[in-house]
Amino acid sequence: MSHLAARGWVCVSLNYRVSPRHTWPDHIVDVKRALAWVKENIAAYGGDPNFVAISGGSAGGHLCALAALTPNDPRFQPGFEQVDTSVAAAVPVYGRYDWFTTDAPGRREFVGLLETFVVKRKFSTHRDIFVDASPIHHVRADAPPFFVLHGRHDSLIPVAEAHAFVEELRAVSKSPVAYADLPHAQHAFDVFGSPRAHHTAEAVARFLSWVYATNPPAT
């Protein structure tokens, strides 16, 4: 974020309720409320409410992608259904994009974690909740431009999940879909400063600048 701010971007750090204290979909509702606030107030801080991009890592990557793919979805905007929560671009980093597949290594354990701590419902009887929470389920032709980043050696969220998400985006979306598969990178590779983290931040800045230049916001 500091890298973007140093290049003139107006950045906002979002917070949201977390599990196990809170239950899905509180998390995405908070992100949507934050987007609504940004659109209403960012002009006072020098930002452009007509060009709002969203990014996040890990759980934030999941929420970033889901928010970008469900603009104005009333299921995730209780009490503010009429507010515009669309974004101009999305940059999810080492995120989870599928909450419902169970036939890959580690998937049953992940779904079990969601059952116990996040969704707090049985997958066998409430599968629809897990599907609706999955960004890959919401891929659409009018999705905004995406830049997906993932470490090739991520041992927490396998890179194959990013591959599947990007493949679906490129098959369905009419917008550009960029993907960076980072060799030797683990989960949360950008938490500490490093040449890899620096170049990743620079790539994100260039992507957003390109989207802004080629898809200027309506005024």
CA 8 to chain centre: 22
Mean pLDDT across the chain = 96
Identify the active-site residue in 30, 98, 154, 190: 154
CA–CA separation, 112 and 193 (whole Å)? 34
* 22 noted as active-site residue: no
Q: Give the CATH superfamily of 2-214.
A: Alpha/Beta hydrolase fold, catalytic domain (3.40.50.1820)
Identify the active-site residue in 58, 86, 175, 209: 58
Identify the active-site residue in 3, 86, 187, 209: 187
Show me where the domains of the chain are located: 2-214
* 30 noted as active-site residue: no
What's the pLDDT tens digit per position in 89-137?
999 999 999 999 998 888 999 999 999 999 999 999 999 999 999 999 9
What's the pLDDT tens digit per position in 161-178?
999 999 999 999 999 999
The DSSP 8-state label assigned to residue 200 in this structure reads H
Q: Is 165 helix (H, G, I), strand (E, B) or coil?
A: helix
| pTM score above 0.85 | yes
* 2 noted as active-site residue: no
